């Protein structure tokens, strides 16, 4: 297929490797086997094409071949998994999709607010990072109770909620790895380790140089045999 036709026939994914919102979108695209044109961006130098696609200019953004734009990470996950869901991410062993979306909503609101103030206290005047670290523990305790019986949030296998929430728990853990290891219970630590060491996580975290207009098309997901995973 000629390059210009190939470019037009694929959805376009704007992503940034370490952004947890972009990570969750990529996880679902890998799980669903949805092939996209991959445009990795630098958040400090966002391309005009990203801003034109979505005025909020944050990642992830997915532009469908017909021009429809999806610029919410959970919506990209649902878009991909509703096309193909071989691992049953939308059908957890226990609970429902609505239950999972409610838990993801808690992650994206209260937990994310505390996480930002714990990780970046200098960005918020008068912030005590340790207070927000401790406040975030209520959500982590809930996750721990969910993972303790069978290993994952909604049963004995990963589902959508696991892969939507894990990037944020990873970010929290990396602020102070020694504190996390000493203060977060073993079931949740094991859950995070298992998710992060999955083949899907590794494939979705492959490195990619930033896109510039005129570059040859790069495809996401990358080939399983090429690329390097980001350091965990």
Query: Is 103 in the same domain as 78?
Result: no
Is 121 within a domain?
yes
Query: Is 125 in the same domain as 182?
Result: yes
pLDDT in tens, 70-129: 999 999 999 999 999 999 999 999 999 999 999 999 999 999 999 999 999 999 999 999
Domains: count for the chain: 2
CATH code, domain with 185: 1.20.1050.10
For the range 48-51, what are the long-range contacts, defined as Cβ-Cβ under 8 Å and sequence gap of 24 or more? 49/14, 49/213, 50/14
Query: Is 43 in the same domain as 126?
Result: no
What is the pLDDT at residue 223?
86
Residues 85/32, Cβ–Cβ less than 8 Å: yes
- Residue 5 above 60 pLDDT? no
Is 225 within a domain?
no
Query: Is 44 in the same domain as 110?
Result: no
Whole-model pTM: value is: 0.93
Query: Is 79 in the same domain as 48?
Result: yes
Query: Is 58 in the same domain as 13?
Result: yes
Is 182 within a domain?
yes
Query: Is 47 in the same domain as 137?
Result: no
What is the pLDDT at residue 8?
53
Domain assignment of residue 111, given as a range: 97-196
Query: Is 136 in the same domain as 160?
Result: yes
> With pLDDT > 90 as the criterion, what percentage of the chain qualifies?
91
Is 231 within a domain?
no
Is 232 within a domain?
no
Is 103 within a domain?
yes
């Amino acid at each position: 297929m000629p390059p210009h036709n190939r470019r037009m026939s694929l959805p376009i994914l704007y992503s940034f490797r370490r952004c947890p919102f972009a990570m969750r979108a990529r996880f679902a695209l890998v799980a669903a086997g949805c092939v996209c044109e991959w445009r990795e961006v630098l958040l400090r130098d966002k391309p005009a094409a990203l801003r034109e696609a979505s005025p909020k200019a944050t990642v992830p953004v997915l532009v469908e071949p017909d021009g429809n734009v999806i610029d919410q990470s959970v919506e990209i996950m649902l878009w991909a998994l509703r096309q193909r869901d071989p691992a049953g991410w939308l059908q957890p062993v226990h609970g429902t999709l609505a239950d999972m979306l409610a838990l993801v909503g808690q992650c994206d609101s209260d937990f994310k607010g505390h996480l930002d103030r714990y990780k970046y206290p200098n960005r918020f005047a008068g912030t005590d990072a340790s207070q927000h670290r401790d406040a975030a523990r209520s959500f982590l305790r809930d996750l721990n109770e969910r993972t303790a019986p069978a290993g994952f949030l909604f049963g004995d296998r990963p589902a959508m909620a696991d892969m939507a929430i894990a990037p944020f728990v990873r970010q929290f853990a990396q602020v102070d790895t020694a504190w996390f290891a000493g203060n977060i219970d073993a079931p949740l630590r094991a859950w995070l380790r298992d998710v992060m060491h999955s083949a899907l996580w590794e494939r979705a975290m492959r490195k990619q140089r930033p896109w510039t207009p005129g570059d040859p098309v790069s495809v996401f997901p990358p080939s399983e045999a090429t690329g390097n995973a980001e350091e965990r």
